Every structure is written in structure tokens, then in C-alpha cells.
Structure 1
Amino acid sequence: MPNGSLESHLHGEKPTLSWHVRYKIAIGLESALQYLHEGEEQCVLHRDIKSDNVLLDLDFTTKLCDFGVSKLVDRGERTQTTMVVGTPGYLAPEYMQVQRARKETDMYCFGIVALEICRGRRPRNGALVRVVWQLYLGGIVVEAADARLENFDANEMRCLLTVGLWCTNPNHSERPTAEQVLNVLQNESPLPDLPPDMYPPPLPPLEIDTVGSEVVDGSR
């Protein structure tokens, strides 16, 4: 793809992306996920959604790639037992524990990518979710925005950060579907109010340094 991967713009050698382009990429990725989950007779579980598998064409249109570990699931089935595959940092906790792939595990991966798009930080040691969740509880979730963004739409930033948290709910049965997420991102449904006990306490302590990077147990 002419513009490489999302990962290369967020963390690599390519120029950082404007907020308008980032939000467009998030909607494009979720549209692809909706098609995989609902668009055909069989559901496709991608199982390795991450920023490095989001490719960008000449117009920065989203192309989801790498279906080497994807699985087909019949409509009547909700899960499929399988060996754990994917990339650390993006994997749903229950997937690693019970080794069952489901739509909700893909939605968790999307949630991590959504937070990554907003914050511009890699998902390491759970720090990405913790930072955004703490700011959400404090009513200042927009402060999680990537410091490299010169300007952005605060309502869209709040929306995508909230959706990212919604998709990473530790209770997989409370995660939204791809269609629900699309409706929120396209302003066709209201933003959800996440319960303050969504993440059971206590969360490990986390600090945010002056340049906005996460510090967990003394390491970035």
C-alpha cells in the first residue's frame, strides 16, 4: 500500500497522521470488521487485529490485511476452541485463559487499536488502557490525546477513546458489536456511559510523566 501501515505512522518512520485521517481509519477498520462478522453466511474471526495489519492506500483508506490465522465460524456458533494466536498487547484476557476465539475477542483488539490511534502509544503491559481509564474516571479522557496532534475534534476524540474502553471491557459479554460501534462513531447512536466499576479495583498504580508516556512499575 502506498502509505504503508498504521503502525508505521504511529510509531515508525512515516509522518504522524492528522486527527481527521486517524478518525477515518478507525471507521474504516470497524467497517471491515462489521463485514467480517456480519456480512456473509459465515463469520470470519480475524484474530490478529493490530496497527501493523492496518494498511493505508493512496487516500488513506483502511485495508485490513493478514488473514493467515483467521477462522470461519458458522452463524449458530459463538465461539471456537483454538490455540492462542495473535500479538501480545492486543489479546483479550479471556482468550488467553480459555483459548476460545469469538467476535468479542476481535472487538477487544479493535478497542486497543482505537486507543492506540488516539494516544499514539504502543499497547504495552496494559498501560494504554489504564491511562485512558483513569482519565475517563476523572472526567478528562480527552487529555489522553496524542501530544503530536496539533489540533483535533474534542468530541470525536472523546468518542473514539470511550469506544476503545467499551470494547476492552473485561467482561466479554458487555462488549459492543461492530455495528454498535459504527453507529456511535458515525454519530447515529449516543455515546455509552461506562460503569465506574467496569474494571474491578484495585488497578495497579500508574504514573504519567511530563511528556505523556506511561510508566508502569518503573518501566515504559
Structure 2
Amino acid sequence: MEDQRESDMEADIEMVVDHIPRKFTYGELSAGTNNFSESYKLGHGGFGDVYKAILVNSDEIVAVKRISAGSRQGKKEYLAEISTITRLRHRNLVQLLGWCHEKARLILVYEYMPNESLDKFIFGSRRGELDWRRRYRIASDIASALLYLHELWDECVLHRDIKSSNVMLDSEFNAKLEFGLARLVKHNQWSQTSTIAETLGYLAPECAVTGISSSESDVFSFGAVALEIACGMRALDFSLGESMTRLVERVWNLYGQGRLFDAADSSLNGEFDRAEMETLIMIGLWCSHPDPFTRPTIRQVLQLLNFEVPLPRLPPILPTAAYSPLGPGSTSDFPPPAGSYSHEMRLLSSSASSSSALASESAN
């Protein structure tokens, strides 16, 4: 019976992937991680633990994601992840190398990233090691990956979990997005899920209300990471007190007071390009706008990062979000009907029409 289940899984994988990645055995992955020892653990995500593995026969180093028994990711999600990732090819995406399914264990194997995740360098154990040049390049790398996912591939791929801990760094500190919650949708469509997948602090406000993900919500998450890179603080940090919990609120207040550079990461000791710092912070704020239709596209973000277009003019006070839940009969994969996005939200987001002016100016 067990052999039959293994055979069924392999048959299913063959059906969902164009190019079948390498199949690993549980034995070689267990040996490469010293039986999944804590000393080999790289991190823990919503779907399970990730380990560094040194393969015995080749000394090849890989990263192993072992899906936990209690994970929300079952066979359907596992196959979807393999199906999506094996068809994507971009220098700023972590490459899936292979898979393993033995004894009801689901395991994915990725390329190993020697410098691990971005969060360790921004506010973790290696804080202060990244100079400004590398930080700005990392922001550009992430935006390039998102442009590929949103616009340049055959279908729009929503990442749905962009955060600093999912931005991996190779030996040269090039950034690559790691996958775990990606979903394919047709261009210009939205994706509705029954549970909120994204992480608080990076979660767009409309997702918390509607359960719908979109390219706009991915852009919101990117904005949170952009602010973290520039400011050296977590997007959501309860240890700072209620007045400083949300990074976007703190930074937007400084922007409104004309003190934008006070938001810069103190660990940089003022050693940064002022034009680039201003650009990255303004991008972070614009992407964090509570109205998803006022945020930039990721293509506009890259244009700003490359100084191809002028910076946006944002209202001095962070607009207030106001949403109405989706009503009965709404369909997944499409935005909510016009009446479900409240008139109050439009008025509050516009901040005396300055935001709508921003949208039209930035499109030109």
C-alpha cells in the first residue's frame, strides 16, 4: 500500500510539471542533515523546517524544506508548489532542485544560499554588516523578481508571502525570493483564499478584510520590506510601544514633518546615498498606501529605483483605510464589485485629491 502511494505521488508529479526535477531519497537527505539535527536547521516557516544538507556522495550543499505533519500544506499545495516553481526561471528566484516523498514525508530541495535570509542582516544577528550599496541592490533584485512574476511570465504569479525572511542572499549578496505560497492567476485577476496566508506587518489591509490576494497586495508587502531595508526596523514590532508599532506609520509621520532622513537606519552611520535613501523610503511609503489601486505597479517601482521617473508626491498624513467585506455571490479570482469597496475609502485615501493626482502623474 505504501509503495502504491509513492507511485501515485510520482505519477501526480509527472502530470503537473513540464520538467521533473531530481528525485532525492529520504536516506540521503537524512544523512546530509545528520538526521535533521537542530544544528543543521536554517529556519522555520509556516509549512515546516528548513535545513542545510551536505550530500554524502557529492559534498553538494542544498537547502531542504521538510513539510511538517501539522502544516496546512498537503498534497495539493505540495504539487502546486512544484508545478509553479519548476517552470519559473529567473536569477532572483531561489531554484528548486528536487523533491522527496517517502513514508508520507513531503520534502522539497532548493539551492543553498550561503548568506541565508535578509532579516538577519537588517535587524537580526548580523545587523550592520550590509552597506548601503548592497542594500539598494537587494531592493532592486526583489523588484526584478516580482516584475518577472507579475508581468513577464506566461501567467501572473502571486508570491503572497514577501517578507525579509523569505529574501535569501547568495555568496555575493544577490537577493533571491524564496517560494512557499505562490499561486498562478491570469493577468489582471485576483486570487481568493479561505485563509490569510501572508505574515502580519507585510499583509495588505484589504487582504485582512477580503481574503483576496493580488499583485497590489504583493506590492504592499514589497513596500514593507523596502522600509525595513532603509530603516533597519521591523515592519511590525510590538516591543517599541503602541506609538511605534507599525514602521509605515512612524516613517510616514517623519515624512509629513519634513524629516524623512531621520528614518534612515542608524547602523549605517549616515553612510548612504541620499538620493537613493529618499527614493527607497518614498517607494516603501507609496507601496504601503492603504488603497490598493493607488499603489504603484512593480514596473513603476523599478523605474523609480533606476531614477527613470520622478518621485511621487504623497499626502503628508497616512490615509485611513475603510473597507466593506465582500458580499454574497462574489467570485474568486476577480476583484470585489465596485460597491464593495466603500466610498469612504475612496475619500479617505484621496487625502483631498492628492493621491489621485499622484496616480495619474506617476502613470505618465
Please say whether Structure 1 and Structure 2 have the same fold, judged by a TM-score greater than 0.5: yes
Matches within 5 A, 1:57-68: 57-65=170-178, 67-68=179-180
One-letter code aligned to 1:56? L
Q: Is the 8 A contact 2:249 2:318 kept in 1?
A: no
Aligned twin of 2:155: 42
Q: Summarize deviations over 1:89-130 as a string: whole Å, max 9, x none.
A: 110010010011100000000000000001111111652011
Does 1:152 find its partner at 2:272?
A: yes
2:10 is aligned to none
Aligned residues: CA RMSD: 1.4
**Whole-Å separation in 2 of the counterparts to 1:42 and 1:11:** 35
Structure 2 unaligned regions, length at least 5 = 1-112, 238-244, 322-364
Q: Please say which structure displays the higher CA radius of gyration.
A: 2
Mapped to 1, the partners of 2:274 and 2:248 lie a distance apart of 19
For residues 224 and 138 of structure 2, the distance between their equivalents in structure 1, rounded to whole angstroms, comes to: 14
Measure, in 1, the Cα distance between the counterparts of 2:148 and 2:203.
21
- CA distance in structure 2 between the aligned counterparts of 1:189 and 1:167, rounded to whole angstroms: 16
State whether structure 2 residue 292 is matched by structure 1 residue 172: yes
Aligned positions of 1:62-81 closer than 5 A? 62-65=175-178, 67-75=179-187, 77-81=188-192
Hey, what does 2:258 align to over in structure 1? Answer: 139
Percent identity between the aligned chains?
47
Alpha-carbon separation, structure 2, partners of 1:72 and 1:176: 21
Deviates more, 1:120-129 or 1:167-176: 120-129
Q: C-alpha offsets along residues 119-151 of structure 1, whole Å, 9 cap, x if unaligned? A: 111111652011100111111111100110031
Secondary structure of the corresponding residue to residue 174 of structure 1: coil
Structure 1: gaps spanning 5 or more residues = 202-220
Return the TM-score normalized by structure 2: 0.53
| Aligned pairs, number | 199
Moved over 4 A (4+): none
Give how far 1:68 is off: 2.0
Question: Offset of 1:10 from its aligned partner?
Answer: 1.2
Whole-angstrom CA distance in 1 between matches of 2:286 and 2:200: 20
TM-score (norm 1): 0.87
Higher mean Cα deviation, 78-87 or 123-132?
123-132
Aligned partner of 1:23 in structure 2 is 136
Matched, 1:12 2:136: no
- Greater RCO, 1 or 2 (C-alpha within 8 Å, sep 6+): 1
Matched to 2:159, the amino acid is H
1:89 maps to 201
CA shift in 2, pair 1:21/1:189, >3 Å = same
1:15 CA displacement: 4.8
What amino acid maps onto 1:71 in structure 2?
A: R
